Amino acid sequence: MPGGIEIKTRDEIAYMREASLIVYEVLDELTRAVAPGVTLEELDSIAERETVRRGGVCAFKGLYGFPKNICISVNEQVVHGIPTRRKLVEGDLLKLDYGVIKHGYYGDSARTVAVGKVSPDASRLLEETRVALEKGIAAMVPGNRISDIGSAIEAHVSPFGYGIVRDYVGHGIGKKLHEEPQVPNYGLSLWSRGQPNPRMRPGMVLAIEPMINLGTHEVDTLPDGWTVVTRDGKLSSHWEHTIAVTENGPQVLTRP
């Protein structure tokens, strides 16, 4: 456990893989259900139903007091949105962030979904955030440092002029949803002084999750105490996977 970071065994990673594949399948079900007129609460109900059907437990409900099964954030909402009776409309940019527990281990993933036809700016933000996640994942090889993940993400999105959210970061994951280390989505130039920057080694499992804004990096939290929004009201995109570091490179657990 170097620096408080849990190193998982092959068996533990296999358990996490089971939880993670449920997350993937549920997010696929939700993506198919997304359409104008569908409410956020309806999507929340689908997440619960499909998780229970697969033998998993919704990881977010009750965690830190969160009241629903899944975090759903729309347009300028970045993360941690609480599902309500709000109906989706054509052009919305929808963020689905979901976690599952199975065998006592967590899987965690997020994706951004276009509701019908969205603006060119929204479409590009969605796609470049997804690509940024893949760039970060590619940096997850033994011997690289945690900062190499954020550097790869930052290098991809910076040319577009996007804002990288700094108040929320990726994280280790295992028997707890949030474990060490923290994984910022930006390079060393923005790191806090003294922030740990360990080398990656086989058995580390990380949830990498770039949160990228069309405008500035600045965010605020709404009075509900949960929903994080862009300060300038511009769109945000969020993608996430749970990934194991192996001797052969990164293994993405939250996709087939």
Write the CATH number for 16: 3.90.230.10
* pLDDT for the residue 3: 59
* pLDDT for the residue 40: 98
- Cα(112)–Cα(189) distance, rounded to whole angstroms? 28
* pLDDT for the residue 4: 87
* pLDDT for the residue 191: 85
One digit per residue, pLDDT tens: the chain, 256 residues?
A: 445 899 999 999 999 999 999 999 999 999 999 999 999 999 999 999 999 999 999 999 999 999 999 999 999 999 999 999 999 999 999 999 999 999 999 999 999 999 999 999 999 999 999 999 999 999 999 999 999 999 999 999 999 999 999 999 999 999 999 999 999 999 988 888 788 899 999 999 999 999 999 999 999 999 999 999 999 999 999 999 999 999 999 999 999 9
CB-based contacts of 33-37 (< 8 A; 24+ apart in sequence): 34/88, 34/94, 34/113, 34/115, 35/88, 35/115, 35/116, 36/87, 36/88, 36/89, 36/90, 36/115, 36/116, 37/87, 37/88
* pLDDT for the residue 26: 98
Domain range for 147 is 2-252
- Cα(165)–Cα(213) distance, rounded to whole angstroms? 7
- Strands (DSSP E) contained in the chain are 57-58, 71-74, 77-79, 93-102, 105-114, 163-164, 170-172, 179-183, 205-208, 211-213, 219-221, 228-230, 236-238, 241-246, 249-252
Total domains in the fold of the chain: 1
Residues 107/242, Cβ–Cβ less than 8 Å? yes
Q: Strand, coil or helix: what is 121?
A: helix
DSSP-assigned letter for residue 103: T
- Cα(79)–Cα(230) distance, rounded to whole angstroms? 10
- Cα(120)–Cα(11) distance, rounded to whole angstroms? 44
Query: Beta 241-246 vs 205-208: how paired, if at all?
Result: antiparallel
The model's pTM: 0.97
Record the tokens describing residue 83, joined without a space: 């599902």
Rg (C-alpha) for the chain, rounded Å, is 17
Please choose, from the candidates 224, 252, 255, the residue with its C-alpha nearest in 3D space to the C-alpha of residue 13. 252
* pLDDT for the residue 84: 98
- Cα(57)–Cα(55) distance, rounded to whole angstroms? 7
Record the tokens describing residue 238, joined without a space: 């969020």
